[in-house]
Structure 1
Amino acid sequence: MDRSTGTSSARITRIARRRAQAGREAEYESCVREMLAQMRGYKGFLGGDIIPPEQPGGDYQVVTRFASEAECEAWDRSEARLSCLERLSEVADGEPELRKLSGLEAWFEPAVVSASMHPPRARMALVTWLGIFPTVSLVLWLVAPLLEPLPFLLRTALLTALIVVTMTWLVMPRLVRLLRGFLDPGHGKS
Structure 2
Amino acid sequence: MKEKAGTIPLYNGKNDICEPGNEGPVTVSIARKIKAGLENKYEKWISGVIEAASDFPGHMGSNVLRPAPSTGDEYVIIYRFDNYANCMKWEQSALRQQWLDKLESMVVGESTTQRATGLEFWFDLPELPLNKKPSSHKMALVLIIVVYLLVMLINVIFQSLFEGLNIWFRSLIVVVGQVLLMTYIVMPWVTRLLKNWLFKD
Could you tell me the TM-score, scaled by structure 2's length? 0.51
How far is the alpha carbon of 1:174 from its aligned partner?
Answer: 5.3
Counterpart-to-counterpart distance in 1, 2:27 and 2:188:
17
Residue in 2 aligned with 1:9? Answer: 23
Residue in 2 aligned with 1:103? Answer: 118
Unaligned runs of 5+ in 2: 1-19, 129-148, 157-181, 193-201
- Distance change >3 Å, CA 26–CA 98, structure 1 → 2: same
Counterpart-to-counterpart distance in 2, 1:176 and 1:70:
27
Q: How many residues are paired up?
A: 121
The code of the aligned residue for 1:86 comes to D
The code of the aligned residue for 2:81 comes to F
Counterpart-to-counterpart distance in 2, 1:51 and 1:102:
20
The code of the aligned residue for 1:73 comes to M
- Distance change >3 Å, CA 72–CA 171, structure 1 → 2: closer
How far is the alpha carbon of 1:43 from its aligned partner?
Answer: 0.6
- Distance change >3 Å, CA 68–CA 91, structure 1 → 2: same
Structure with bigger gyration radius: 1
Counterpart-to-counterpart distance in 2, 1:176 and 1:101:
16
Counterpart-to-counterpart distance in 2, 1:69 and 1:44:
10
Structure 1 runs, 4 residues or longer, greater than 2 Å off: 6-9, 104-109, 168-177
Residue in 2 aligned with 1:158? Answer: none
**1:29 and 2:29 aligned:** no
Q: What does 1:12-91 correspond to in 2, within 5 Å?
A: 12-54=26-68, 58-91=73-106
Counterpart-to-counterpart distance in 1, 2:187 and 2:87:
28
How far is the alpha carbon of 1:63 from its aligned partner?
Answer: 0.4
How far is the alpha carbon of 1:57 from its aligned partner?
Answer: 8.5
User: Alignment RMSD, CA only?
Assistant: 3.3
How far is the alpha carbon of 1:26 from its aligned partner?
Answer: 0.8
How far is the alpha carbon of 1:81 from its aligned partner?
Answer: 0.5
The code of the aligned residue for 1:30 comes to K
How far is the alpha carbon of 1:104 from its aligned partner?
Answer: 2.3
The code of the aligned residue for 1:84 comes to W
- 8 Å CA contact 2:30–2:78 kept in 1: the answer is yes
Counterpart-to-counterpart distance in 2, 1:106 and 1:19:
26
- 8 Å CA contact 2:62–2:80 kept in 1: the answer is yes
Could you tell me the TM-score, scaled by structure 1's length? 0.54
SS of the residue corresponding to residue 27 of structure 1 reads helix
SS of the residue corresponding to residue 36 of structure 2 reads coil
How far is the alpha carbon of 1:176 from its aligned partner?
Answer: 9.6
- 8 Å CA contact 1:51–1:60 kept in 2: the answer is yes
Counterpart-to-counterpart distance in 1, 2:80 and 2:37:
29
Counterpart-to-counterpart distance in 1, 2:115 and 2:29:
6
SS of the residue corresponding to residue 37 of structure 1 reads helix
